[in-house]
Chains A and B, each alone.
Chain A
Amino acid sequence: MTRLLKILEYGLSSLARRKFKNFSIIAIYSFTIAALASILLLTHSLKEIAVNVLADGPDIVVQRLTGGRHDLIPANYTQGIEQLAGVGRVTPRIWGYYYDSLYQTNYTMLGVQQDMPQLEMVEGRMVVADGECTVGQGVATAQNAEIGNELLLINSAGIGSTCEITGMFKARSNLWTNDLILFTKDDLQRFFATPAGLATDITVEVFNPKEIPVVAQKIRQLFPDTRPVTINEILHTYESVFNWRSGMMLTIFASSLIAFSILAWDKATGISGEEKQEIGILKAIGWDTGDILALKFSEGSVISVTAFLLGIFFAYIHVFLLGAPLLVPVLKGWSVLFPPLHLVPYVNMYQIFTLGFLTIVPYMASTVIPSWKSAITDPESIMRG
């Protein structure tokens, strides 16, 4: 133990001797790790938020398709669906999107319905009467609005209407409520000019989660013009979208990892004459190959683990404290129009360990192997100068 500690001490002193070179490597290494870790942290956080949000959502959303496109659905379809075994509450929904050209943001508008999940409020109360609305924090921030203010909205026919803000949602389900404006159903039906007796879609509650696919199948048979979308399908879609986007980003940043590996390999294989001579001297005066490897291993470990931890730290700050400003435009896609989103810190340790394995091990190998090649040569060469 004493022996290894002394070799480690000498390793640290060696690193300190080559300060500039080692700091440069740590800086590049940390940046690469931070970039890759940011993508993984952000993607995982978005997926977790989606899962949490959907946990409160309907088991099945029934949409109507006309000519292969989403169309308004007759509200009386609810009566047929309610008759199916295992089905609980069935609710027609009115909702849609609204683009605010003044603030260049996109909002989701939803009519209040009976089966809505309990949404916690920062302050105020839920909408109860026509002419009122409840908004997400992102909407309030974008509009610079407070409770009691009037929100001006202009529909697709160019007709303006106002609503009074009665409350503001809390951030727990930010991904869902951040851009949300809640109205009474009648208000929203008027705003979107949705014909009476029609709804945007229908939500269905199923008592036994295992029966969700069966109920969906039955709805499809009962109303062939509909497309029932189950909660699992929505989750799967979210996952696919984020995986695809993060995959694209990872592919791009993997090239920087490869570039870094080449740099590390070049640095390590091209160990300088000075380093080679040092290895020769150490061997000549009684260090064996194992001692040299322990020395180089300790040097490589200090650099790679320091850079890795710094990279993870910077990624955490970038994603969860700064809101991933460098990645959000790509990973959230069209959501550049969204009001700001506050990410909830979710860290997948498996991903972190995998990233550590894929970055630390290649660096260690590219540092230790060339030193080993140098260390197994006869120390006699050092006698000859």
Chain B
Amino acid sequence: MPLIIKTEHVSKYYNRHKPDEVRALDDVSLTIAQGEALVLNGASGSGKTTLLSLIGCMARPTSGSVSIQDKEVSKLPERFLTDIRRQTFGFIFQQLNLIRNISVMENIQLPLYPSAIPMREMNRRAIEILTRLNILNKARMKVSALSGGEQQRVAIARALINQPQIIIADEPTAHLDSSLAAELLEILSELNRGGKTVVIATHDPYVSRHRLIDRIIRMRDGRIIGGSEP
């Protein structure tokens, strides 16, 4: 399978050259193949979220390079990074990060507002995804009125609306009970079977052991300390 993500000797420092300098990532090199489902595993502070941020073009490395689909992105200006973020990635955040007082439909369509895609197409895509995730009947409801599991599905739907090739999920099961976690992983499995690359940062062993996962990368203190199959 062709590579879709490649990091080479990536380091990330916060508050560089200050007394409170933090080395979040230290010389991390990693390749991820297209269609792969991968878990970044490690305790809090191990650098999982920082690595996800760099892969997802939300931040730039202090040194080293990040390539997405063979394109070096770490030194691109902000507007190009935004385009890549919008066109290539779907994000599922630990805190969901939904806008609570707007409707499910609006939340899902948010990534497409600053695009040239017409409103009719946005509606079509949203209805298709809501149907697929079985929450079409909640489309006009405000997010704040939904249950935790329904909100999780809305977050997934929002991550899928721009038809991304890579889905990035940061601790997606952190606030879910076991049945909702299983449901989420089933949805991600289905997406992975459809050809999406899935990168999950988690320290939840249930996720790491799931049949969805092709590979586990173990991290500690900002370094990769090993990799294995589940």
Contacts and interface: CB of A to CB of B under 8 A. Distances in A.
Nearest to B117: A2
Given A13-B106, A286-B85, A288-B79, A380 B58 contact: yes
Contacts of B116: 2-3
A281 B110 CA distance: 10
A2 B119 CA distance: 8
A288 B53 contact: no
A3 B111 contact: no
A17 interface: yes
Interface stretch (B2-10, B88-96, B125-133, B207-215): B88-96
Contacts of A6: 112-114, 119
A384 B93 CA distance: 9
Contacts of B111: 285-287
A248 to B, nearest CB: 46
B131 to A, nearest CB: 21
Interface in B104-125: 106, 110-119
A17 B107 CA distance: 14
Interface string A284-324: 11111111000000000000000000000000000000000
B81 to A, nearest CB: 9
B172 to A, nearest CB: 13
B52 interface: yes
Given A6-B119, A17-B102, A278-B99, A383 B113 contact: no
B162 A286 contact: yes
Residue from A286, A288, A290, A385 having most chain B Cβ neighbours under 10 A: A286
Contacts of A385: 93-95
Nearest to B49: A383
B49 A13 contact: no
B82 A284 contact: no
Contacts of B56: 383
Interface string B62-103: 000000000000000011001101110001011101110110
B114 A281 contact: no
Contacts of B52: 383
Contacts of B170: 383
A97 interface: no
Nearest to A285: B111
Given A17-B101, A286-B85, A287-B82, A382 B113 contact: no
Nearest to B168: A383
Q: Which of A7, A13, A384 has the most CB of B within 10 A?
A: A384
A378 B58 CA distance: 7
A13 B142 CA distance: 13
Contacts of A10: 106, 110, 113
B4 to A, nearest CB: 18
Interface string A1-25: 0110011011001000100000000
B187 interface: no
20 contacts: A3-B116, A6-B114, A10-B110, A13-B106, A17-B101, A281-B98, A284-B85, A284-B97, A285-B158, A286-B85, A287-B82, A288-B78, A288-B79, A289-B78, A289-B79, A382-B97, A383-B49, A383-B53, A383-B93, A383-B170
Given A284-B85, A285-B158, 11 more contacts: A2-B116, A2-B117, A3-B114, A6-B114, A6-B119, A10-B113, A282-B110, A286-B87, A286-B111, A287-B82, A289-B79
